[in-house]
Structure formats: structure tokens, C-alpha cells
A = this chain, B = another copy of it.
């Protein structure tokens, strides 16, 4: 049994305050026995991708910057595995949306640079983030080994892509993790909002089923307004699903919450025995997956 914590936060423009609140929740979770704590996507600030503005590149920091240093020390002090998320400056003019894993005692166990980058009204991520590398030793879809297992760490928009989940599973991931910042457009009607929230959970629970793995998803909450009038109501609903897609814990939409949940990692062994999907994959017939479209 692995006790996991997900921190669902509402953020302000005050990075110091946001990080202090994250730290408070991490300490709360660790004190209750959490051995793996996962923060939401870009938890140090507002979701700045609501607008395209060059001055916001000032928010970025290198992989070994102050956010990593702060939370690396915290993970070590609390003796936990901690997943954080930063706006990474890799070089001048080259930025990523990057999640890092702190494994107490071993420092930073690895990082993941978001592979699928969205670009939609209010979510202008292609302006800010270069997609993660595809090949070589930086190849994106590699699980990160920690004391609590191999983490199939992905980020937000990746959650809509079955290929990403499958590649992590094939590389031996013990669980899938998606730090997220997703929300509603307040102009949408209630039925559309519920379909979107439902779709978001269903597709990730589907990855759990298809791969026989638990899925861990912390999401942002709260309303954020951009300088040019865009509004996002981040929909919370952070959740954990087991390897049959069953919901193990779920947060509300509109308030901060730290979820604590026991995840039985041995359950994947049982589920993959009764449903041995990996046995029957038609690897001889999937080659067109690498095509953009078959036309």
C-alpha cells in the first residue's frame, strides 16, 4: 500500500505565497503518512499562458533553480517522494513545461518535459513551451525510478493521448501521474461543462484500464482572469483511479484540497492477470500509429 497525496491549489500572482502554501500542504500530507506527494501543474503562479506576453519569460527558471532547490530540501527533510512542476528555461529562447521528481536522499530522481503542447483560446502554451525531446536519452516517455516505484510522469495535455500512457506502461511504469491545469470557460453552459469534466476524467481512467495502472491527477482550482479579459474557472476534481479505472478519491471543483489515498500497487498484478492486454497487442499491425493521418 502506498499512501499518495495530491495537492489541489488556488494560486495568486504571489509566487512566494503559493510556494509557502504548497509547502504547508506537503507537510500536512507527510505528517499523515504520505510517501508520494504530487503538486499541480505550474503551481508557483497564475496560469500565465492565458495571454502571450514576452515579459512573462521572466517567470522561467533553470532545471536546478530555486523552486527545485526549495522542494528538494523539503522532500529530503520529510523523507518523501515529491513531484513538482516548473516553467523551465533551458537556454535563451528555449523553454519547457517541466515536472521534476524529488526522491528524498537521492535528490532529483529525474524530470519530464511536457511532450504534447496545447494552443487554444486562453491556453497559449505553444508560445511559451517547446515540446519535450523525442529521441535519445532525453526521450520524453521514460518512467522515473524512485523508492516508491517507476513513475510514468506526464503533464496535462498529454492526458488526452493514449500513446503517451501506453509508452510509459511499455517502459515499465508502475503508475501514471498527470499534474494538470484545466478549467472551464465560464461562457459554456452547464451541460457542456459537465461533458468536458467527464471527458477529462474518462480518458485518463481509460488509460488506467488499458494499461492496468493507477492514475494520479492533481488539478488547479479557482478563477483566474487575464489582463485581456480571458477567464478560466479551473475545475479541480483532482482524482486517483485504480487499474480498473475505478475512482479511489476525488476532490471538489471549487476549493483547495489535499487528497490522501492509499494506492495498492499490487492490484496491477491481479488486474493484468485477469485482463492480460499486453499479451495480445498486435505489434505487427500498429506501425501506422506514427502517421499523422492515413490519407
Where the two chains meet, the residues of A that have a C-beta atom closer than 8 Å to any C-beta of B are 115-118, 120, 131, 134-135, 139-141, 157, 160-167, 170-172, 195-196, 198-199, 202-207, 209-210, 242, 244-246, 274-278, 280-295
Contact = CB atoms under 8 A, between A and B. Distances in A.
A283 B288 contact: no
B116 A161 contact: no
B285 A292 contact: no
A102 B246 CA distance: 38
Nearest to A243: B199
A280 B246 contact: no
Given A160-B275, A172-B295, A289 B167 contact: yes
Contact of A286 (B242, B290, B295): B290
B195 A246 contact: yes
A138 B68 CA distance: 53
B281 A202 contact: no
Contact of A134 (B164, B166, B275, B285): B285
Given A162-B166, A199-B245, A277-B161, A285 B209 contact: no
Given A202-B245, A209-B160, A140 B281 contact: no
Nearest to A207: B206
A167 B286 contact: yes
A30 B271 CA distance: 41
Contacts of A274: 120
B245 A163 contact: no
11 contacts: A115-B285, A140-B285, A141-B285, A162-B165, A172-B294, A195-B246, A199-B244, A206-B207, A284-B290, A286-B289, A289-B290
Contacts of A172: 293-295
A149 B60 CA distance: 48
Contacts of A207: 162, 206
A141 B286 CA distance: 9
A207 B165 CA distance: 13
Contacts of A166: 162-163, 289
Given A160-B210, A161-B277, A209-B202, A170 B285 contact: no
Contacts of A246: 195, 198-199
Contacts of A198: 244-246
Contact of A205 (B171, B196, B206, B290): B206
Contacts of A118: 280
